[in-house]
Structure 1
C-alpha cells in the first residue's frame, strides 16, 4: 500500500492490483470518503470462493480496466492485468501545489507499457488521474471503475446523454442466484424513465433501498462543450460524489447498480453500491474491436496502439459536503472552480483544475 497527501486530501493505492484503496477528503470540518472498498478484503482468502480474480478479491475504490469486462483477445483475468496484477511506484514527489505519483504496471497490455499518474493539489477535493499506454499494437478498450456506497440511497445526476441502453444480457438471469430489475434489452434517451422487466418505468436517477437487484446500463454522452460528469448525492453521508471526464476520450458512462441483487459469495446480498464507470469500450475486448451497437452509432470503443505512440486519457474523482441530501442540477467549470448547482438552486464553488481534462482533445 502506498499513501500520499496534499493539503486536505490523501490517497492510498493497493499496488498489488492498482486499485485506489482509499480517498479521504477533509473539508469544512468534515472527513469525506467517497469510494467504496469491498467488505471481504480483510477476510481470510480461504473463506472466499475459489478462482476469483485478484481484482475481485481486492476490489476497492477505482481502478483501470484494460480491457473492460472479458479479456477474450489477449489472455488475462476479468478487466485485464491493470486491475489484477502489481504496479510499481516509480516516482512520488512534492510539487509546487501538492503531490504527484507515477506507477507502472509490471505486465504489458497488447505489448504496451502502462503508467498511472496520480496528482493531488492543495485544497482541491479531487484526485486527478491520467493513464498512459506507450507503444504496443492492436487496439485496447478501457474504462475507469469508481464505486461508491450509500447507506440510505441517494440521487444521481449526469451531464447530457443521448442514449440510455441495456443489452440483451441481464447480469443476474438465474433467480436461484440473484435478480435484476430492468428490461434487457431496452433503450431510452432519458435515465429518469427506463423500462423495468415487469413493464413499469424506473427512474435511474433515484437510488432506492426498497428493492434488491443487480443491473448494468450504458449511457452515451450527448454532444456538448463541457466535461462529462456524474454527481451522486448520498443521503445518509450528506455529500456529493463527483466524477468527471473528457467525453472525447471516454464517450460512455456505465452504471453498475449492485443493490442486493447477488445472493452468492462474495457479494452476499450487499446493498447500496454503484459503479459509475467512464469508458471507451463495449462489453468485452472482442466485442469492442468488432461490430457493436456503439460503433454503429459513431461511438469509439477502443484506443489504437502503435510502436512509438503514446495514448493517454484523464479522469477526476472527488466529493463535496452538503448539509442535507441535495440532488444536483448542473456541474460547470468556471475559472479555477467547479460550480455545482443543486436542484434547489444552491451553488457550491470548489477549487478545480479547469485545464486538466483538456476538453476538445481526444488524448
Structure 2
C-alpha cells in the first residue's frame, strides 16, 4: 500500500495508490475540519479477516473510487467495478499554476485496451475537489461511475437535482436472510422520491437517510431531461455539515444510491457497516458491464449506459466533491445553482449562501 497525500488550503486529501481510492478527504471550514468521506473500519485493522475472493476494492473500501466497468465485470475478465477500483495507480505528475494544484495519476493496467488517467485539482480558497478521469484509446464499450461514500453517524437529509424517477433492479442486494436483509421492493419504480415502495408494503422517503434499520439496498435515480447541472447534497445531522457532489448529466446521467446500513452479516461487513450512503454518478446499467453494452431498460428510455472507446479518441468524465459546515439558522440545503464565480446554496427557509467555486470545470 502507498498513500499519496497533497493539500491546498482549505482541502487536503490522500490517494491510496494500491487501488486508486480517495483514502481521506478533509476540508477546513473556519475553525472546523470536516471529514467528508467514509472509510471502512477494517481498512486500518491489521487483524481484519476476509473471505476468499474478497476483491481489493472491498478490502480497501474508502472515500471515492472510479469504476470501469460499474458493478459486474462480465465482458473483460476482472473484479467487480473493474481494475480502476482494484489495482495499482502511478503518480505521474504535479502541476502548479497560479492558485491551482493538479496531481495526475495513471492506472497501471488497461481497460478494454484504453489507458485510464486521473487528474485531481485543488484551488486555493475553494472547499471542493475537482476530479477528472479519462480513457485514451481502446476498443469496445465501457460503463463507468464514481463511487462516493458518505458516513452519517445519526442520519441526515438528502436533496437532488430534478429526477425522472427512481428504480430498483430485478433482485435485491441481499436475498438470503441468513446473510443479510434488503427492505425496498424489487423491482419497483416511483416518480416521487418521497414515496418509494417497501418490500413489506408501506413507503420509504428517499430524501431522508437511513430509510430503516439493518438493511442493504440499491436503487437508480435518472436525471430529468435537459438539465445542465446534476447534483446531490447530503445534509448530515450529527456532523452539522453538508456534502456536495456535482456532475454534467449528459455525461453521467444516473445517480445510483447504495444504502449500507448494517444489512450484511458476513465478513468483512459483519453487521457493523452502518450509516453509509454511496452516491454513484454513472453512465451504466446497474446490472453490469454486459448489460450496459446492450439494449437495456435505461437506454431504451434514451439514457446512455456506456461510452464507446476508440483508438483516436479521448473520453473525459468530470465530477466535483465539496463540503461546508452548517451555519446557524440555515437548516437543510435544498438546492444548488451556479452563479457567477460561485456555487449558491438555497436553504429550506429561503436563505442563501455562496461558496467559492469554478463554474468552468464541468463546462469544459
What CA distance in whole angstroms lies between the structure 2 residues aligned with 1:18 and 1:326?
A: 35
Secondary structure, counterpart of 1:306 in structure 2: strand
User: What residue is the counterpart of 2:269 in the other structure?
Assistant: 267
- After the TM superposition, list the runs of 4 or more consecutive aligned residues in structure 1 that deviate by more than 4 angstroms: none
User: What residue is the counterpart of 1:190 in the other structure?
Assistant: 192
User: What residue is the counterpart of 1:316 in the other structure?
Assistant: 320
Per-residue deviation, 1:209:
7.3
Which blocks of at least 5 consecutive residues in structure 2 are unaligned? none
Instruction: Map 1:28-39 onto structure 2 (within 5 A).
Output: 28-39=30-41
User: What residue is the counterpart of 2:301 in the other structure?
Assistant: 297
User: What residue is the counterpart of 1:341 in the other structure?
Assistant: 346
Which blocks of at least 5 consecutive residues in structure 1 are unaligned? none
User: What residue is the counterpart of 1:252 in the other structure?
Assistant: 254
User: What residue is the counterpart of 2:134 in the other structure?
Assistant: 132
Is the CA contact 2:168–2:185 (under 8 Å) kept in the aligned structure 1?
A: yes
What CA distance in whole angstroms lies between the structure 1 residues aligned with 2:22 and 2:350?
A: 33
Is the CA contact 2:204–2:211 (under 8 Å) kept in the aligned structure 1?
A: no
Alignment length (residue pairs): 359
Is the CA contact 1:226–1:333 (under 8 Å) kept in the aligned structure 2?
A: no
One of 274, 277, 292 as aligned partner of 2:280? 277
Per-residue deviation, 1:46:
6.1
Per-residue deviation, 1:87:
0.4
What CA distance in whole angstroms lies between the structure 2 residues aligned with 1:165 and 1:326?
A: 29
What CA distance in whole angstroms lies between the structure 1 residues aligned with 2:33 and 2:255?
A: 27
User: What residue is the counterpart of 2:359 in the other structure?
Assistant: 354
**Partner deviation per Cα, 1:158-192 (whole Å, 9 max, x = no partner):** 00000200011100111111111100000011211
Matched, 1:327 2:329: no
What CA distance in whole angstroms lies between the structure 1 residues aligned with 2:190 and 2:174?
A: 21
Per-residue deviation, 1:226:
3.2
Per-residue deviation, 1:212:
1.4
User: What residue is the counterpart of 2:68 in the other structure?
Assistant: 66
Secondary structure, counterpart of 1:67 in structure 2: coil
Compute the TM-score of the two structures, normalised by the length of structure 1: 0.96
Per-residue deviation, 1:98:
2.6
Residues 11 and 296 from structure 1, CA distance in 2 versus in 1: closer, same or farther, beyond 3 angstroms? same
Secondary structure, counterpart of 2:80 in structure 1: coil
Per-residue deviation, 1:94:
2.3
**Partner deviation per Cα, 1:249-302 (whole Å, 9 max, x = no partner):** 000000000011111111121210000000000021001011210011000000
Compute the TM-score of the two structures, normalised by the length of structure 2: 0.96
What CA distance in whole angstroms lies between the structure 1 residues aligned with 2:336 and 2:58?
A: 32
